[in-house]
Amino acid sequence: MTSLGFQFDNTYLDLPEALYSKLSPVPVTKPEMVILNLPLAIEMGLDFSGMSPDEQAALFAGNVVPDGAEPLAQAYAGHQFGHFTILGDGRAIVLGEHVTPSGQRLDVQFKGSGRTPYSRGGDGRAALGPMLREYVISEAMHALKVPTTRSLAVVTTGEQVHRETDLPGAILTRIGSSHLRVGTFQYAVMQQDKGILESLVYYTIERHFPSIKRAANKTLSLLEAVLEKQADLVAHWMRVGFIHGVMNTDNVALSGETIDYGPCAFMDAFDPGTVFSSIDHKGRYAFANQPSITQWNLARFAETLLPILDEDIKHASEIAEQVLRSFGPLYKEKWFSMMRAKLGFTGEREEDESLVTDLLDWMHGAEADYTNTFRDLTQDEPPQGKPYDDKAFLSWHARWRERLAQEENDMEASLALMNASNPAVIPRNHKVEQALDAATNGDLQPMRDLLAGLENPYEGRTALTPYQSPPKPEERVRQTFCGT
């Protein structure tokens, strides 16, 4: 097969063989294209226009492997809901690393491409609904300017997968800066070979943090760099009301991208304790817990680095603990900076913290919609109707406007900052579920309409109205599922 623009340069294979298994995707019976992300393909320098739909489907099903690809499944471990488990790509295969015309290195991964040595008894396949869910949410996150893996294509396989019932099988093509995870390092430490761990540290630095290659203590600098990336990422999640749902260490990408869209969801009414995941029975990964869980995951990453952080293990632990303690203040700074932007503040004043917390407290008590409340604040006059016809809100609004008047920049600059920080539309759970239900039953139009509505989420357009309204009581989605 011709390259189609693929420029593969597969450096992961230079790592010790304990970290991966080379194998090809398992062919499927009758692949058919569902969706192809043409804008992303163009960004990547790829051209599929000379291929028929059947040829495209064969490519994205893994039935045909392009020149230069060297498929592999990665080995890793992970703390899942706090419990350590040996894992690995049980239903995914990295086709190879594609270098774009701009020089960006991207993993091309098939998800649902068949059994691997890490399948642990699973069938290695995926169902159409969850693969389309990842496509929709990951592309929405990209449009929301949240660091994320992306989705290039979804194909059906012509085969059924059995979960609770028989469902149409599908394969997603995921694009990511890499698939290096905290769990990759956890697996490397298990090999009890310092050389494997060192090679993984150097590889990660070369791939994601080349600016620290000359650092005196590269391992320490890597820990600090990953910590900052994760603080930035979670602040973005909190900005748009995103709840990951499965923040296990195997789902923490060292690149700082959101990865593995399982039971993820976006919050409607503001509630710090919001949980959607059907498997998160104790609220471990609730909305407000995401920063503390991120710090917990970073602690697990730091533990893996101790053997090479310093020759004295006690001193290494002290160094790591000092770095980890910096997460709280760093995240708080990033979070308040983000929240000030959501309220239109370019400068800092003493009363800002109380303005932020008082608004969130009111929103929680009033069950106000997280996304719409911030967007409604951009109006010239105080928002009208429920829940805004409330003395507490009107008092807060007057304080906020008084604070805005103290800004060095004019009101137009504050509104521009707010409009850039507060989306007009998010992929609301009930709309996503409606679109996926229709697609699973053969009607792709609701999904196409939803994707079109999510393309420019910071632009207020009349056409977005159907996607901006919170769910009616009967439309509320209370649980989301992993879809494995």
In angstroms, the CA 185 to CA 169 distance is 32
Neighbours of 480 (CB within 10 A): 23
Q: How many CB atoms lie within 10 A of CB 53?
A: 13
> 0.75 exceeded by the pTM?
yes
The string of pLDDT tens digits covering residues 318-365 is 999 999 999 999 999 999 999 999 999 998 999 999 999 999 999 999
The answer for residues whose C-beta is within 8 angstroms of residue 62's C-beta and 6 or more apart is 24, 25, 26, 27, 28, 71, 93, 95, 110, 113, 114, 171
pLDDT given for residue 184 in this prediction: 98
- Per-residue confidence in pLDDT tens, the chain, 484 aa: 556 999 999 999 999 999 999 999 999 999 999 999 999 999 999 999 999 999 999 999 999 999 999 999 999 999 999 999 999 999 999 999 999 999 999 999 999 999 999 998 889 999 999 999 999 999 999 999 999 999 999 999 999 998 888 889 999 999 999 999 999 999 999 999 999 999 999 999 999 999 999 999 999 999 999 999 999 999 999 999 999 999 999 999 999 999 999 889 999 999 999 998 888 888 899 999 999 999 999 999 999 999 999 999 999 999 999 999 999 999 999 999 999 999 999 989 999 999 999 999 999 999 999 999 999 999 888 999 999 999 999 999 999 999 999 998 888 999 999 999 999 999 999 999 999 999 999 999 999 999 999 999 999 877 788 899 888 887 787 777 665 5
- C-alpha 298/C-alpha 403 separation (Å) is 37
How confident is the model at residue 2, as a pLDDT? Answer: 58
Phi–psi pair at 413, nearest 5 degrees: -70, -40
What are the CA-CA distances from residue 36 to residues 91, 166, 443, 454 (Å)? 21, 25, 16, 16
Q: Which residue has the tokens 């004295």?
A: 312
User: Residue 482: what pLDDT?
Assistant: 64
Which region, left, alpha or beta, applies to residue 195 given φ > 0 means left and ψ of -120 to 50 means alpha?
alpha
Contacts of 478 (CB under 8 A, 6+ apart): 276
Phi/psi at 106 (nearest 5 deg)?
Answer: -130, 135
pLDDT of residue 282: 87
pLDDT for position 3: 67
**Local structure of 20: helix, strand or coil:** strand
How confident is the model at residue 195, as a pLDDT? 96
Q: What is the pLDDT of residue 453?
A: 94
Marked catalytic residue, from 89, 250, 268, 280: 250
Rounded Cα distance, 186 and 301, in Å? 7
N-terminal to C-terminal alpha carbon distance within the chain: 31
pLDDT for position 484: 55
Q: Give the model's pLDDT for residue 476.
A: 81
Q: Is 123 a catalytic residue?
A: no
**pLDDT computed for residue 1 by the predictor:** 56
- Residue count of the chain: 484
Q: Which residues contact 314 (CB under 8 A, 6 or more apart)?
A: none
How far apart (Å, rounded) are the C-alpha atoms in residues 61 and 33?
9
Angstrom distance (rounded) from CA 209 to CA 15:
17
CB 470 within 8 A of CB 371: no
Question: Tell me, what's the pLDDT at 471?
Answer: 85
